Structure formats: C-alpha cells, structure tokens
A = this chain, B = another copy of it.
C-alpha cells in the first residue's frame, strides 16, 4: 500500500524513491511513502490562489463554523482512526490524546472564534491611539489575513493532534495550510485528511497534504507565508536558516528539544497528597506515548532529603507499568515508533549514563515482540552541576533523570540549566515556594503547572498543551509559541497600524472611534431596527438638573447611604466640595435621558464596559448625554428567539460646562427588521 499526497485538488502517489513504514507494534511493513513527482511550486500557488483567497474572504464566525462542522464530522469517524493509531505504537489512552485531543482543538478554536472574534474578515487590535491634539488624526491597529499559506512540518508522535492544533488557528486566521507529517506515522494523518477532504466543508485549496519529503518547496516561499516546524532541533535549525526563510523574512515557528523538569516542593514529603500526585505524574510522563512527547518530564528535581523516598516510590510504580501490544486492555505503555527511534534513544541513554547512575530499567530490545519496544529508564545524578548532559541531551523515549536540590535558589539554577523548556511543573502546597520558583524559572519556560491537593484532581497534566494556553518555549525549546487562544491566530495574520481621520478609520474598521460622530436629528435610535442603525450615528439628549432631592431619593431606593452622598461634613473632609450625587444615579439618569420608552426594536441593555466617572456631579449641575452607535454584530439566528444583533453604544455624559462627568459603552440587543 502506498500513501498519497493531496495536492492541487488531487490525491497523487509518489513516483519513485519510496520509504517503507512499519507497524510500530509488530515490525511488519505496512506502507510505502514518497512525494516524488509533486510540483511544490504549484502546491504553494494553489494554496494561496484558491485556499487562502477563499478563507480570507470569510468572516471569523464563518471560519469558526467550519471548524465546528469539521470537528463534528471527524467525531463520527473516530472509530476508524483508532486501529491506525495502534499501528503507530499508541495505546488506547495515547490515541485518545491524539485523536480526540485533535478534534477537541477544532471545537475549542471554534468557540473562541465565535466568542472572541468579530463577524468580520479582520480584527481590531486594541483601543484607538490619539495622535494629535484636537483629535483629527488618530491611530488604530488591525490584524488582516496574510495572502500566503502555512506550511506545517509536524513530528511523528501526534499525527492527528499535531496537525489539528496547528490547523485550527491557521484556518481561523483565514489562511490555507500545507501539511507535511513525519513519514513514520503519516498513514494516520493521511486518513484524517481524507476525512476532512471528503467532508467537503473546507474551501478548495484550504488544506493540502504532502506524504514524503518537502522537496524544493522552500525555494518558493514568500514573506506572506508561514512555516512551522515541530521535531528535532537539528532539522529545525537547518530549515530555519534556509536561504529563502532568511531572504524573504518568512515567519518561522519552531518547537524542538526540551528538557522539561518537574519539581517536588520541600513541603511535599512522603505521605502528603502532593508527593503522591508527583510520583503519579512523573511515571505518567515517562510512559504515556512511551515518553515520546516534547513535553515529557526529563528532569525530576527533588529536595535532597527526599531522593530516597522518591526513587523508591518511582521504582515501585514503574515496576507496575504493563508494556505491550498497544491495543490490548490494561497495557499502559506501547513501543517506540520504530527501530531507528529505539537506536536513537538507546544511544542517548548510553550518553546520559556516562555521567549518571542507573535507578531503574533498561532496554527491551530483542524481546519476543518484533516491535520497537523500550522499557522505562530512570537515572540519577547526585550533582546536577557536574555535567551539562542531563540538561541538554533529550532521549526521546521513557527516560528521566532524578536530581537533588538543596535550596530554592539552587533549584531555580538547575531548572534554568535546561536552557529554555516547554513546560515545568511544581508539586507543592506552599504558595510562597510556588510563587518564588515560578517567577524564578518563568523566563525559561513557556508553561508552568503548579499542583496542590486542590487542583490535582482536575489537572490536565504536565504533558498536555491546551488550545487556550500558549505552547512553546524559549531557547533550546525552539523559541516558538503556538495556540494560546487568540494569540495563536495572530501568528497567521499581519498587524497593520492605521492612521487617519476618525471618519476614515471608522469607515475602514466598521467601528466608531472617538471623533467620528454623525449627528442624526431624525428618528430616535431606539426606534430603529438593527439594519437601520449606522455606525457613528449620534443622539444628543435634552438636559436634566440634578438636585438634592435626587440624591436623597436615590439613597432611599438603592439603600446606598455612603457618606460622600449623605454626610456633608464627611464629604468635605474627603475629596469632595460637598455631598456628591451617586455615580449610579448619574448612570441611571443618563439612561433616563437617552432611552425611548416606546415599545420598539431594542430588546434589552445587557452589558456595560469601561465606565469612568471623570468628575463629581453636585446638586445644581445639569447633565446631558450623548449616545453613539459604536459597533454592530449580527447574531446567528436561533429558534424561539427574534432575529437580532448586538449593538454597542458609546455614551458620554456632560455637565453644564461641557465637562465630561462619565464615559462608558453599553451593549444592547436590537431586533432585526421584518422579523418577530
């Protein structure tokens, strides 16, 4: 059987130079792979001209919907994917992380897209920036889709999740993707891509797959493309220094070696729940995916006084780990991905062993099973400063080095010796220890998990990158950053600073900005349907004189008898001239000024943001309100709900001297015309 590449709308088989892929668990040859004959220039052009061109014209909400539909579609075919996953050496649990975890990333990004992005093709980034005295020239940042494509070069360990965690933010950002999985497990990736293509949910050209090498693809990269790489540091560095990457300033996101550590706090002695959770986590991280995880624990840092207890507990626990055929019930650890990997891990263990003592385990090479099995190895170094090897050699398998520390300061130094890692974990119930160590090692880590008895039960674990948290690490870990919700999406977009008049920027961004008011003396805005409202349309209300009676009555109704409103001498002793009106009264009276009482399209005021009371309102002051339509977002129609949209209004309340006394934004639900 031969794997196919999906390029320029076709499934094509390689022409020559095939590599044979074996079943990790049985050693049988199962597939051949080659991308020979693929026209890589055409792949990139097709991705840009078809895929990105279509995706970038959709709004974030439309893209979010595609992610959700795709995830649903894949969910219904999960059962077909598990057997393929077993052939990669993954156990049932490993496969769940890979397959269900991958699908979950699409669901998660779909939700983020719907909730945290606008129904637009671009994203308004941050507040407008005043750039001039009278406000006729202002600035606003936006993110727009790039016009290139994303080339994702993925590792062998998570053939499904590894692809999907990158595709989700790529697609949501409006960019197409070309996926190149590692050959040894590409058959699972191919199966997932087949399903996605068959679902017909993505626009043409949005997703292409290269089974085999990337050939001369890099020669055709431009500054509008993005490349991500997950895998060995050696390959990653070569690609990152590729002359086209450098020449065209192609964005390159790399995630490579990482000597992640886990820390046991001095308080978490044997017998404490934290000790128990720590032991469980270290063993998990050694055995899940047979330790072939970029986030696995490689360095186990424990107080010198606990070394004995920890090594005993780890040994006991490791002994109980059942290793075997991945699909079998009760098997906790499967084989490595292939024989090359066994050789590589074996060599790295030998290297590490030259400077460490052996605590547990060794190779299973040559067992009755033909697969790429390798039993867990726990090493120990009494002096973590004696050699750099335990901090720099990543044996990509079930391998871990135990090290003692004697003080908080020393612990931080040891953790930092990793030279930049994806993740660290700290097991402690001492919040001060947690704080000091976290802040001490944070510059060297992309993620830090702190576990105590309160959080352990719901913890997602040291090794699990999550869609809403950033995944990546500085230095040795490659300097990359993926996911993290919105943050990951922006890696596939261009940030552009716009400058101009408020009217122009408001027109470009489909959003009112300070200074872009349009006075509309006609129909009251509360009597207009969603479609009728215009961005920037402004109502200036009649005035209302605030009186002492208002303060007294408002206190009576609200029950708010705060001294600044009710106690004249105390108000004067404080920061006021005299008793001041309640801020909430000003807010309520402003609503009284701008709300239209008649039954109309406005359904409700459901939110308020960025309120600042900028000046006290005293009895005798006269306030007026200005209401401006800031932003409109149509809501997806729901059954049993009138068709409607969210309208955000900007409100400014002034006193008789045109001084601003309150400024804020409110959110209303407004009915669409012709619906009920």
Contacts and interface: CB of A to CB of B under 8 A. Distances in A.
B435 A476 contact: no
Interface in A541-582: 544, 550, 553-554, 557-564, 566-567, 570, 573-575, 582
Given A431-B507, A507-B431, A606-B613, A499 B224 contact: no
Interface string A183-216: 0000000000000000000000000000000000
Prevailing SS type, chain A contact patch: mixed
B564 A479 contact: no
Interface stretch (A31-39, A161-169, A305-313, A457-465): A457-465
Interface residues of A, number: 136
Point out which of A146, A574, A587 has the most chain B C-beta atoms below 10 A from its C-beta. Answer: A574
Nearest to A242: B241
Number of copies: 2
Interface in A450-505: 450-452, 454-455, 457-460, 466, 468-471, 474-481, 484-485, 487, 494-501, 503-505
Contacts of A575: 603-604, 641-642, 669
Interface stretch (A16-24, A81-89, A372-380, A590-598): A590-598
Interface in A630-651: 641-642
Contacts of A147: 416, 443-444
Contacts of A544: 559
Contacts of A404: none
A584 interface: yes
B499 A137 contact: no
A223 B474 contact: yes
Contact of A606 (B561, B592, B595, B612): B612
B450 A508 contact: yes
Given A420-B249, A508-B438, A133 B597 contact: no
A136 interface: yes
B224 A455 contact: no
A557 B561 contact: no
Contact of A587 (B254, B466, B480, B584): B584
Contacts of A591: 558, 560, 562, 582, 584
B566 A223 contact: no
A145 interface: yes
A446 B582 contact: no
A600 to B, nearest CB: 8
A249 B438 contact: no
A431 B507 CA distance: 7
Nearest to A592: B559
A387 interface: no
B479 A223 contact: yes
Contact of A224 (B254, B475, B477, B582): B475
A442 B603 contact: no
Contacts of A248: 419, 475-476
A660 interface: no
A605 interface: yes
A370 interface: no
A500 B435 CA distance: 12
Given A122-B439, A439-B144, A469-B139, A475 B508 contact: no
B237 A450 contact: no
B560 A592 contact: yes
A487 B143 CA distance: 13
A498 B450 contact: yes
A559 B589 contact: yes
A447 interface: yes
A142 interface: yes
A610 interface: yes
Nearest to A558: B588
B599 A563 contact: yes
A454 to B, nearest CB: 4
Contacts of A604: 564, 574-575, 613
A10 interface: no
Nearest to A251: B479
B588 A570 contact: no
Given A139-B469, A605-B613, A223 B419 contact: yes
A88 to B, nearest CB: 27
A508 B435 contact: yes
A531 interface: no
Contacts of A566: 597
A508 B136 CA distance: 43
A496 B450 contact: no
A465 to B, nearest CB: 9
A496 B452 contact: no
Interface in A424-451: 431-432, 434-435, 438-439, 442-451
Given A466-B139, A469-B141, A499-B448, A133 B484 contact: no
A134 interface: yes
Nearest to A588: B558
A93 to B, nearest CB: 19
B448 A497 contact: yes
Given A460-B499, A557-B588, A599-B563, A609 B607 contact: no
Interface of A: 121-122, 126, 129, 131-134, 136-137, 139, 141-142, 144-147, 222-224, 237, 240-241, 243, 246-251, 254, 416, 419-420, 431-432, 434-435, 438-439, 442-452, 454-455, 457-460, 466, 468-471, 474-481, 484-485, 487, 494-501, 503-505, 507-508, 544, 550, 553-554, 557-564, 566-567, 570, 573-575, 582-585, 587-589, 591-593, 595-600, 602-613, 641-642, 664, 669
Given A224-B420, A249-B476, 7 more contacts: A136-B455, A141-B469, A434-B504, A454-B504, A484-B497, A553-B557, A563-B598
17 contacts: A131-B460, A139-B469, A144-B442, A222-B419, A223-B420, A224-B443, A249-B477, A251-B479, A431-B508, A434-B504, A452-B500, A481-B495, A557-B585, A558-B585, A574-B604, A604-B613, A609-B609
* A-B pairs with lowest CB-CB distance, top 4: A223-B475, A559-B592, A249-B479, A132-B458
